[in-house]
Amino acid sequence: MGLSAARKGNTILVVGVVFRGSLWLDGVISCTLEVNETNQNSALSRAIKQSRQYSQLHAIILKDQLVAGWKVNLSDLARRVKRPIIAPVNRGIPRAPQGRRGAGGIERYDIMINRRHLSVLAAGVSRTGAEQVFSIGCSPNSGIPEAVRVANLLVKQASKRRFLCQRRKIKINEKRTGAQDS
């Protein structure tokens, strides 16, 4: 599952997309979180576990690990959903703190996907496991899994309010052609 988030006012919209490999879209989930909510991981994990695709999930990949106001704790989220969590990061971000590394903690790995170097923070998965998840989920020309890319596109559209729920008034003028019924 790829997760992406966008902030709109005092809420954070989170969109998750489930792909089978990098080719088939299996499902979409979404939830909103309050910015001031103390336990955002609880609401997010509840939405993930209640989705129809939960039993099919092998890992959860975050697009934007830090959205302003979104306090996500990778190791806590991995523990709650009982699935590995992987978040790509910039190379300039320092390594995970020593106190949080190891069993159940956060690890930072530099992996190679489609001849590209990528740094990830991971909870509940080894370096080899993170590379396998990315190699299965990425198209041959990309370093980002398709589920994450699609989730990011959806959350951008939904946060702009140009989504399927928008209603527009359409005025229909009835014009008659030359062939009229009598």
CATH superfamily, domain 2-159, is archaeoglobus fulgidus dsm 4304 superfamily (3.30.2170.10)
At 126 the pLDDT is: 92
Amino acid at 20: R
In degrees and rounded to multiples of 5, residue 89 shows phi and psi of -135, 165
Assign 10 a pLDDT band (cuts: 50, 70, 90): confident
- Please state, in angstroms and rounded to a whole number, the distance separating the CA atoms of residues 28 and 13: 13
Q: Please, what is the end-to-end C-alpha distance for the chain in angstroms?
A: 60
Reading phi first (left if > 0) and then psi (alpha if -120 to 50, else beta), residue 114 is in: left
At 98 the pLDDT is: 40
**Per-residue pLDDT averaged across 46-73, rounded?**
79
The helix/strand/coil state of 159 is helix
Is pLDDT of 57 > 80? yes
pLDDT digits 0-9 by tens, 142-179: 888 888 888 888 888 887 764 444 455 445 555 555 55
pLDDT digits 0-9 by tens, 83-140: 999 988 876 555 554 434 444 588 889 898 888 888 888 999 999 999 999 888 888 8
Q: By C-alpha distance, which of 63, 82, 74, 89 is closest to 145?
A: 63
At 158 the pLDDT is: 81
Residue with tokens 């994990």: 45
In degrees and rounded to multiples of 5, residue 80 shows phi and psi of -70, -45
